[in-house]
């Protein structure tokens, strides 16, 4: 089956580095379609040329929608006070609901731009059955080395999760921990992301419309393999660049970094 990866992304110093890493993953994976949704008022030449140079024009869709200012993080805000990627993921879901052939089995995965993904993860996703949500462990998240589903004795069903952070959530897992059979989005048009949820509840919010814990399909060697890591890139320090700019100069004039 075809896999649609949905990536919200926003302009910041490390954006091109993050997206370059992801674009090279797509170059290795011909059954992937990349829906990249920029958090901006228009699509940018940076993203467009990146897709072109990776040869991904035909299997990517470049969209944009800006997060309304009241929901956008401000300079010194801790990153957890507002959910990120809500508007962008919803736009991608709307695009999928109108553009994907409902009779063809497809998989949807929410692929943040800063995580680290193994190509093997995408091979696992192709095992997701129609009408199902596949789940697997995620490394380096929620204050643990690995967050993972706990399975029953014969390894066929999820009976719990090992989450330490907010374990009472209906689905105490990260966005990178699951992928969804596209038919579920067609059957459940009310399944969208929302700002009106508590911190850390985005994953539960979308999944509660689509599946139950009992229906989750365990993947990645019965949830024993880690094929994705919730890495986060350090905020780029630009003290000397700021000093240059105060003198009307910059290190990157005429260059895209």
Q: Provide, rounded to whole angstroms, the least separation between the CB of residue 233 and Mn ion.
A: 8
236 labelled as ligand-binding?
A: no
Rule CB under 5 A: say whether 241 interacts with Mn ion: no
Measured from the CB atom, the residue of 67 and 211 that comes closer to ligand UGA is 67
Angle between helices 45-53 and 15-28 (to 10 degrees): 30
- What is the arrangement of strands in the sheet containing 60-64, beginning at the earlier edge strand? 60-64, 32-38, 2-9, 106-110, 178-181, 133-135, 217-218
DSSP-derived 3-state class of residue 178:
strand
170 in a labelled binding site: no
Toward ligand UGA, which CB reaches closer, 133 or 175? 175
Which of 39, 114, 183, 225 contacts Mn ion by CB under 5 A? Answer: 114
Site for ligand UGA in 27-66 (CB under 6 A): 39
Nearer to Mn ion, 174 or 205 (CB): 174
- Site for ligand UGA contains 205 (CB under 6 A): no
Q: List the interface residues with ligand UGA, window 169-188 (CB under 6 A).
A: 174-175
Which position among 10, 95, 195, 229 is part of the footprint of ligand UGA (CB under 6 A)? 10
6 forms part of the interface with ligand UGA (CB under 6 A): no
**74 binding partner (options ligand UGA, Mn ion, none; Cβ < 5 to 8 Å by kind):** none
Rounded Cα gap, residues 7 and 13, in angstroms: 17
The region, left, alpha or beta by phi > 0 then psi within -120 to 50, assigned to residue 187 is: alpha
* Run of H or E residues at 217: strand 217-218
Residue 84 near ligand UGA by CB under 6 A: yes
CB 181 within 8 A of CB 132: yes
Contact call for residues 115 and 107 (beta carbons, < 8 A) = no
DSSP state letter for 92: H
Active site residue 38: no
Other Cβ atoms closer than 10 A to 137:
27
The number of residues making up the chain comes to 257
Among 171, 149, 121, 143, smallest CA distance to 218 is for 149
CA distances from 222 to 37, 132, 145, 154, 175 (A): 32, 16, 18, 10, 19
Q: Which entry of ligand UGA, Mn ion, none binds 241, CB below 5 to 8 A by partner kind?
A: none
Q: At its nearest, how many Å lie between Mn ion and the CB of residue 114?
A: 4
Q: Rule CB under 6 A: is residue 83 a binding residue for ligand UGA?
A: yes
Please say whether the beta carbons of 114 and 18 come within 8 A: yes
Find the shortest distance in angstroms from Cβ 134 to ligand UGA.
Answer: 17
Q: For binding to Mn ion (CB under 5 A), which residues are involved? A: 112, 114
Q: For binding to ligand UGA (CB under 6 A), which residues are involved? A: 7-10, 39, 67, 72-73, 79, 83-85, 88, 112-114, 174-175, 202, 230, 232
Q: List, by residue number, the catalytic residues.
A: 203
Residues annotated in a binding site for Mn(2+): 114
Residues annotated in a binding site for UDP-alpha-D-glucuronate: 8-10, 39, 84, 89, 112-114, 230-232
């Amino acid at each position: 089956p075809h896999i649609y990866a949905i990536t919200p992304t926003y302009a910041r110093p490390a954006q091109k580095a993050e997206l370059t890493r992801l674009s090279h993953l797509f170059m290795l994976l011909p059954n992937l379609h990349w829906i990249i949704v920029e958090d901006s008022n228009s699509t940018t030449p940076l993203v467009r040329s990146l897709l072109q140079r990776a040869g991904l024009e035909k299997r990517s869709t470049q969209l944009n929608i800006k997060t309304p200012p009241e929901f956008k993080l401000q300079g010194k805000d801790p990153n957890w006070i507002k959910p990120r990627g809500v508007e962008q993921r919803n736009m991608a879901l709307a695009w999928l609901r109108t553009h994907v052939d409902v009779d063809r089995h497809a998989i949807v995965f929410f692929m943040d731009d800063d995580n680290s993904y193994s190509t093997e993860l995408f091979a696992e996703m192709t095992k997701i059955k129609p009408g199902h949500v596949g789940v697997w462990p995620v490394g380096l998240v929620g204050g643990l080395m690995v967050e993972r589903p706990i399975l029953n004795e014969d390894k066929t069903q999820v009976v719990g999760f090992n989450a330490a952070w907010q374990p009472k959530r209906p689905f105490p897992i990260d966005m990178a921990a699951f992928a969804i059979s596209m038919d579920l989005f067609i059957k459940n048009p009310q399944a969208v992301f929302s700002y009106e949820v508590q911190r850390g509840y985005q994953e539960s919010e979308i999944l509660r419309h689509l599946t139950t814990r009992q229906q989750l399909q365990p993947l990645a060697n019965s949830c024993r393999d880690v094929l994705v890591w919730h890495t986060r890139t350090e905020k780029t320090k630009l003290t000397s660049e700021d000093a240059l700019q105060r003198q009307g100069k910059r290190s990157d004039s005429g260059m895209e970094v």
